[in-house]
Structure 1
């Protein structure tokens, strides 16, 4: 195989990845799209500037000989069905996170992957951001000594816009936003520490969104739109205060990782700003990121060496491409996985484990904060 011919399922926000795969004169090319909306189909094809096979039925992609791989970019609750169907049809698969919305669903995907003999890659693009790769390098180098604690704060300034004006706000579609939104962060905690969570206790609630508005209400038709702080005029317009919303918008997790490392994760969806703040503390010092100013700080403590005499600030260089330059990198990694069997930065098991922690934390939240053990049933444990 000299070129990967890719079919896409879902022309939503993450379909922007297709731009990086569509290189008709290169090693990959988008050849087909399945999406229920003809309008989205037309816009997708127009952006790529190439005639594609278009369909509303994703199963039509599975039988086509001119498709080698499929990018599953559909809503979360469809990932399990779509990924398994693609693998069973003999296609390589790029799966957007979360891998599924239940641990059992992830395990069924991993079983199908092992049987298929095809490649499966999970879309954890934060592993490809230079900021977190810098932090990974510092931790692995021993700059902060033995890692003992992880603190993560996630200020989701666009939480309402991205998660409470559409299907994300209902748990039947997402389980909770600890899968959809936190899956990145939980994976980064696992990846940077080199350890998986073994148990979790969590508290959370729906403190701002949701309410008593009818489920059919949309922002453009609402008589409160001139004064509502959550009014949006386009794209996602379902009322953020409708009755069906039942996923927590304010969450706090404490976790114990393998080796006894303590970790915490805080997520709030009604903050005024958008930022992820990571702190990793070891026996010789700590590192902390500032993603607003694109910096990573290394601070050292007394250790009877020259290293205690200075702190270091790392400034991230600007990169082109979506998500701080991560999207073109992760897209290329998928192509090199399929063409050359080059292992990417992510693994299917890592995708499963972020879901496992999110599900366990959700169970804890909805049962008074009880401690929940993290299942590692799969026999293909990888970092």
Structure 2
């Protein structure tokens, strides 16, 4: 569909007019029903996360990856390996000039997200933007404003909302098993931290900002999702405790994480080949006060031996806690008064994959394409993605400034109204 019909995408999510915008389902339906080529999708950035583009063909027969964009020839070769005989471009601007895509999956480094997304949105190319939305609150607001002003669909890949452990916890809350949520505590054991985040650009705060964005944005979003509110005040603390002392550093041109990942890279200080610049914290903690009064905390450590997340959600009539965060794990609920016991008063098995969040990736891609092709409302909202950036970025500012509290500035009402029409969940 790349070419003249692309204008329909720009006008379909919302009309670029003053005030509240509502989705035009007739236009979306026409897009689906007209006899036309499949939705042309470009993958922008052929790095570690580019593989999510393979889910396009798995979830829709009316969309296909037809182009790959990467500034590195090695990346373009990787794109051809992933997607076959597709068009290739050295920059997203070349893609726009060629009118070669109706939609784009942006999987470039975090610090490039905002500029690429703004250009594509203004050109009428619907965007799946890998989380985090941006590395600064100002850039996050700039992306949302571009989507609202152009009317082009924007979706941010907060896939963890679709993970089995999150579905199980949300179900407990919605069924009223623990009453009204009042407190949430998250402990994040990032056992793969050295390989995931300290051997490439992620270790450089000028590229990442903070791992409270690149890594914690998943969990900040889930805190908001479970609490049904957004952070309004945040305090952070943290430090670079281990990896700053590792002297073995190197550039890794053309490589991705799969080239160096190994469980044998242990103990943490024995890791080699770290990024030349390592200045992000490997331990970070944050306290959050949400706009509905819920209190929350989040902690991450990148030199633990194990790799998983542990949530505790406390309500007015009980609490839940997950033991394990993939299939085989369980969400335990205690909602009767008693002394310590290892098993819950009720237990809910976690369904889905046994490692990672591949099933959630499939669900988010289906949701994105449903938005673009059918005009279907989504569980994940760009407003929620902005809230995660706000909390994480301001927590990093706080931890680097003596743990002074930071307040989250409000988002423009016109932008809130624009996205309200396309989201099933109010948070």
User: Is the TM-score greater than 0.5?
Assistant: yes
Alpha-carbon distance between aligned partners in 2 of 1:249 and 1:157, rounded to the nearest angstrom: 11
Structure 2 CA distance for aligned equivalents of residues 328 and 139 of structure 1 = 25
The alignment status of 1:271 with 2:304, answered yes or no, reads yes
SS of equivalent residue, structure 2 residue 333: strand
Is 1:45 matched up with 2:80?
yes
Q: Could you say which residue in structure 2 is the equivalent of 1:9?
A: 44
Match of 1:261 in 2: 294
1:58 has 2:92 as partner: yes
Structure 2 partner of 1:204: 238
Q: Relative to 1, partners in 2 of residues 1:169 and 1:346: Cα closer, same or farther, differing over 3 Å?
A: same
Deviations 1:180-229 (A, max 9, x none): 100000000001110111111121000011247486577xxxxxx99985
Report the equivalent of 1:222.
none
Separation of aligned partners in 1, 2:268 and 2:194 = 10
Structure 1: unaligned runs, 5 residues or longer: 219-224, 304-309
- 1:378: how far off? 3.0
Distance in 2, matches of 1:315 and 1:62, equals 46
Map 1:122-133; keep pairs closer than 5 Å.
122-133=156-167
Structure-to-structure mapping, 1:1-383, within 5 angstroms: 1-2=31-32, 3-22=38-57, 26-48=61-83, 50-211=84-245, 213=247, 216=250, 229=268, 238-239=273-274, 242=276, 244-290=277-323, 291=325, 293-302=328-337, 311-319=345-353, 323-379=357-413, 380-381=415-416, 383=427
> C-alpha separation between the residues in 1 aligned to 2:355 and 2:368?
16
In 2: Cα distance, 1:286 partner to 1:228 partner: 35
* Normalised TM-score (structure 1): 0.89
What is the SS of the residue equivalent to 1:339? helix
Q: How far off its partner does 1:299 sit?
A: 1.4
Q: 1:299 to 1:320 in 2, by over 3 A?
A: closer
Residues 172 and 324 (structure 1), Cα distance of their counterparts in 2 relative to 1, 3 Å cut: same
Please tell me the root mean square deviation across aligned C-alpha atoms, in Å: 2.6
> Contact 1:179–1:359 (CA<8 Å) still a contact in 2?
yes
Deviations 1:272-299 (A, max 9, x none): 1101000100011111112164211111
Counterpart Cα distance in 1 of 2:278 and 2:406: 25
Displacement of 1:39: 2.2
Asked if the contact 1:321–1:327 (Cα under 8 Å) also holds between the matched residues in 2, the reply is no
Deviation, structure 1 residue 302: 4.5
What CA distance in whole angstroms lies between the structure 1 residues aligned with 2:62 and 2:355? 19
Task: Name the count of aligned residue pairs.
Answer: 366
Could you tell me whether the CA contact under 8 Å between 2:67 and 2:100 is conserved in 1?
no
Taking a change above 3 Å as real, the CA distance of residues 252 and 116 of structure 1, as seen in their structure-2 partners, is: same
Deviating more after overlay: 359-368 vs 64-73: 64-73
